[in-house]
Amino acid sequence: MQIKAEQLQKIMGGNKLFENLQLEVNSGEHVAIVGVNGSGKTTLLQLLAGIDTPDKGRIIKSKEATIGYLHQIPHYLGHSVKEVLEEAFAELYTLKKKMTQLEQEMQSTVTDKILLQYGQIQEQFMLQGGYEVEAQLAMITNGLGLTKMLEQPFSSLSGGEKTKVMLGQILLKKPSILLLDEPTNHLDMQAIEWLEQYVRNFEGIVIVVSHDRHFMNQVAHKIIEIEDGEAFTYNGHYDAFVAQKEAKIEQQFASYEEQQKKIKKMQEAIKRLRQWANEADNAAMHRRAKSMEKALARIERVKKPIPKKKMNLALTMAERSGKEVVQLEGICHEFEQPLFQNSHLAIYFGERVAIVGSNGSGKSTLLKIILGEIAPDRGICNVGSNVKFGYLSQQFEHKNPAIRLIDAFREKVAVSEAEARHILAQFLFYGYDVFKKVKDLSGGEKMRLRLAQLMHEDINVLILDEPTNHLDIEAREVLEDTLASFEGTIIGVSHDRYFLQKIFTKTAWIEEQRMTVFEGDYEWARQKRQELMQQVVEKETSKKLQPTKKELPIDQQIEKLEAKLQASSLGQEQRQKLQQQLENLYERWVEEEDHV
């Protein structure tokens, strides 16, 4: 089985996305597609899925291939989440309905024809996994964290939750070709790790578009980069692609420089030959010059590698804060449900602290408690001396959504319009981009605007809430490099494990209303957490395996207590307790005798 793109050309809005693009993915291959924003990654998935058609070229796939791809979220009015997921088994439920009808018929009449028909349908039902439907449904709902919302109306869910449910439906359909567009966007870490395992074990073709570098490292066998309308294939996971791409650019630049030297020498030789030919009126020299000109024209030019434009981000620390930045003591807080119970966290100057946990565990709430925007129900949050926070929130909201980008920037940064345009250009806002209204900005543009403001604020503690959301890989790398050189304190919430591993050296893990602090990076914390969980499981298993003490018959218990009461050394209080126990035993004895 395979899927191929041959000589694809696609023009959108006058912009040529693809020019003679070639692509081939074979059976069992797991491929990640990367490229700058606007390079056509999602468009390519839509072409492969058959949702869109190329202007030129064709998509070829095996006849038996089935494709799973979430293009848009359908409207399921009156459906619960479970019913939406069960749409994946529509064919199986039709077979089950036929089996039930035949079973009812067989209660009154049994013929060879009905038995044969029932046997054929039952075999088809079994081969398609009909008896495993409930197990499959439980596996997917548990893995993606959908169990609690199964009975909720699908229409009441948020956009992210609906996307997660539809991803579950696609996985339940078990297509032979799985096309995933940013599948980790609305998943928490536990669900992402489960999806990684699922994709690794998936036997068919997987083609994924993602900005999640850790996810691509875990699932991809090949990386296909879309660049200048063409597809370039690199073997290995994402980190291997980065290394190969850097080596390729270095080689290309060396080849370009070498060729430029050769071209320059040929041009100088042609110039000299023409000059000598003119001075000596030599036809042979003219012919030689002409011949060299034709050879020069035939040379296939090596493209000069053009470095991509990147954000020019630089964060400088204001005067340093005191040693103790934040002290959380016995924090308890509820928001619709309990979030923290008696939680403690100490953050000191210069530390990089990651706050991780599942969706809804209270990570963003904790940041707001630190910022003083929310007061905890119980406990104390102390902020140290001379602490100056810089906050990058998940959502960039402005009180006046119709305000222009440049005006929103100048509200925070007191500079002239000309200077503002110069600064914003460093964040990839060129020309008329600066006059866009804030409400019309994409998620990535809003994040870049906030970063531009943050760069000019007087801060020594950075509070980051999902800072890599909406940023492409190049922008994430610039942000990571900038944060690595920041001399102040960083407190961050993120689902981007690549980002977490690269920046943070201390991890606060929120789970089951408790906060566990690990003095190490994300991967170290994850390993230690698993070890702690394993110890708890082993302890509980050990308790269950221990034989329970068999209770003595009541008459023997009475004898033992009476013997104890004979001791003259008993204190009055102890004697009273034993006498009370003895009375209770006599009552139980009488009741048992009456019952007998």
- In the chain, the number of structural domains is 3
With respect to residue 416, please indicate whether it lies within any of the assigned structural domains.
Answer: yes
Average confidence (pLDDT) over 233-241: 94
Extract the tokens encoding 16: 């040529």
Residue 166 reports pLDDT greater than 60: yes
Q: Are residues 427 and 509 in the same domain?
A: yes
CATH number of the domain where residue 331 is located:
3.40.50.300
Q: CA–CA separation, 421 vs 410, rounded Å? A: 10
With respect to residue 361, please indicate whether it lies within any of the assigned structural domains.
Answer: yes
Burial grade of 254 (CB within 10 A; 0-12, 13-18, 19 or more): exposed
With respect to residue 70, please indicate whether it lies within any of the assigned structural domains.
Answer: no
pLDDT for the residue numbered 544: 65
Q: Are residues 519 and 574 in the same domain?
A: no
pLDDT for the residue numbered 550: 63
Q: Are residues 518 and 489 in the same domain?
A: yes
Q: Are residues 342 and 455 in the same domain?
A: yes
pLDDT for the residue numbered 1: 62
pLDDT digits (tens, 9 = 90+) for 521-562: 999 999 998 888 888 877 777 666 665 556 677 777 877 877
Q: CA–CA separation, 293 vs 271, rounded Å? A: 10
Q: Are residues 401 and 443 in the same domain?
A: yes
With respect to residue 449, please indicate whether it lies within any of the assigned structural domains.
Answer: yes
- The arrangement of strands across the sheet holding 506-511 comes to 389-392, 461-465, 489-493, 352-357, 506-511, 514-518
pTM of the model: 0.78
pLDDT digits (tens, 9 = 90+) for 83-120: 999 888 888 888 888 888 888 888 888 788 888 888 88
Q: Are residues 532 and 561 in the same domain?
A: no
Q: Are residues 331 and 479 in the same domain?
A: yes
With respect to residue 286, please indicate whether it lies within any of the assigned structural domains.
Answer: yes
Residue 325, SS3? strand
- Greater confidence, 273 or 327? 327
With respect to residue 460, please indicate whether it lies within any of the assigned structural domains.
Answer: yes
- Which residues, at least 6 apart from 138, have a Cβ–Cβ distance to it below 8 Å? none
Q: CA–CA separation, 270 vs 272, rounded Å? A: 5
User: What one-character-per-residue DSSP string does 240-273 give?
Assistant: HHHHHHHHHHHHHHHHHHHHHHHHHHHHHHHHHH
Q: Are residues 339 and 408 in the same domain?
A: yes
Angle, nearest 10°, between helix axes 133-144 and 189-201?
A: 130
Q: Are residues 531 and 559 in the same domain?
A: no
Q: Are residues 335 and 288 in the same domain?
A: no
Q: CA–CA separation, 12 vs 182, rounded Å? A: 22
Could you list the residue range(s) of the whole structural domain that residue 464 is in? 324-536
Q: Are residues 565 and 439 in the same domain?
A: no
Query: What average pLDDT is seen over the chain?
Result: 87
Q: CA–CA separation, 557 vs 551, rounded Å? A: 9
Q: Are residues 508 and 442 in the same domain?
A: yes
